[in-house]
Amino acid sequence: MIIIMDLDATPDEIREVEQEIERVGFRPFMNPGVERKVIAVLGEVDAHKADLIEHFSNMPGVARVDLISDLWKLASRSYHPEGSIVKVRDVIIGGNEITVAAGPCSVEDEGHLLEIAEAIKQSGAKILRGGAFKPRTSPYSFQGLGEKGLKMLARVRDKVGLPIVTEVIDTHDVRLVTDYADILQIGARNMQNFALLKKVGSGVRPVLLKRGPAAKVKDLLMSAEYIMAEGNQNVILCERGITTFEDSTRNTTDINALPVLKRWTHLPVMVDPSHATGDWRMVGAVARAAVAAGADGLLIEVHNDPPHAKSDGPQSLKPEKFAALMNQLRRIAEAVDRKL
Ligand code: PEP
Ligand code: MN
């Protein structure tokens, strides 16, 4: 349920509505940054909704009370009609620009990371990606460098001037990763790790939330809602391919998810063509399709020596290939009235 206040509602009237929401056992959440005050009423509203609508409609300063029938509220377009913009240092995600994050799957070596970061920046990437904590399918695969990797990322960020996004896989590491990273990535495997979602939701860093391989778009939005309900509104969604019966590629890119998400949510949406395809030869085609279909950004794995990468080498682009792709993407962005 949302309560839309009159344009000239006084601060006292707004406060009284918020207090009344709490008095009847719910949690008020004020939509930040919009001209007309909209207060979301969080909690199990559905049971006595007719009474609640009438009750709040009669309060001074209230213009209208609307039910949001979606299970996600704060993430929904009905609550927040304009597209959201997430700001990270001087980089913007959402709005008219398309933002590309690129870098190796795993942080392996500082010299290489620096080389990759310089190359992707030169090609127009705005964010450096790299995993220090890796959620690997096998416990015997490379698990990441941990804090040592975070330190490398932070030093490279300071040298090159690109904000960094890196994954956090454990609630106990959220504080540590927050100390180094500009954006916290929640990986596909943890999309429904609700303890982790709540933890990053009460934190201060923007969150890049990846869609689980077997998750519906609706599930992705409810996971975003877990983060937002804790206070953190800076959520970026990421389509990274889902599991289908098709086994010619690692995953299947759900391009439909882009127009669906654009209708249902105000949150920016990125696409990860690297994990979606699992094959560097197919990354370009899916990246181009994603930009044409309305993605607000891309997450692309780039490595300067893919055959020797510790993870995801087969889907990593070499810096030269990434540069050529960025030039194509720029032209596609222009064709759909966006900037890259
Ligand atoms: C990654 O970005 O390196 C990663 C592990 O992605 P996903 O969680 O989408 O598999
Ligand atoms: Mn990877």
More confident position, 67 or 124? 124
Ligand 1 pocket test target in 128, 208, 275, 315 with most atoms within 8 Å of CB: 275
Sheet with 2-5, strands from edge to edge, namely 27-30, 38-42, 2-5, 62-66
| Length of the chain, in residues | 340
Per-residue pLDDT at 32: 64
- Domain architecture of the chain: domains with CATH: 2-66 (3.30.70.260), 86-335 (3.20.20.70)
Helix/strand/coil for 335: helix
Residues near ligand 1 with C-beta < 6 Å? 105, 131, 135, 187-189, 210, 240, 272, 275
Q: Which ligand is nearest to the CA of 136?
A: 1
Nearest ligand atom owner, CA of 131: 1
pLDDT at residue 43, rounded to an integer: 87
Residue 70 pLDDT:
86
Per-residue pLDDT band at 69 (split at 50, 70, 90): confident
> Counting atoms of ligand 1 from 1, which one is nearest the CA of 131?
3
**Least confident window among 33-47, 86-100, 207-221, 243-257:** 33-47
Confidence class for position 29, pLDDT limits 50, 70, 90: very high
What is the predicted pLDDT for the residue at 16? 97
pLDDT for position 68 = 85
Report the pLDDT value the prediction gives residue 239, as an integer from 0 to 100. Answer: 98
Which ligand is closest in space to the CA of residue 311? 2
- What atom in ligand 1 is closest to the CA of residue 105? 3
Residue 316 has what DSSP assignment? Answer: P
- pLDDT at site 33: 60
**What percent of the chain is predicted at pLDDT more than 90?**
91
Q: Are 239 and 212 in contact (CB under 8 A)?
A: no
Residue % of the chain over a pLDDT of 70: 99
Query: Average pLDDT of 247-261?
Result: 98
The pLDDT value recorded for residue 109 is 95
The residues, any chain, with a CB within 8 Å of residue 196's CB and separated by 6 or more, are 168, 169, 170, 171, 174, 186, 190
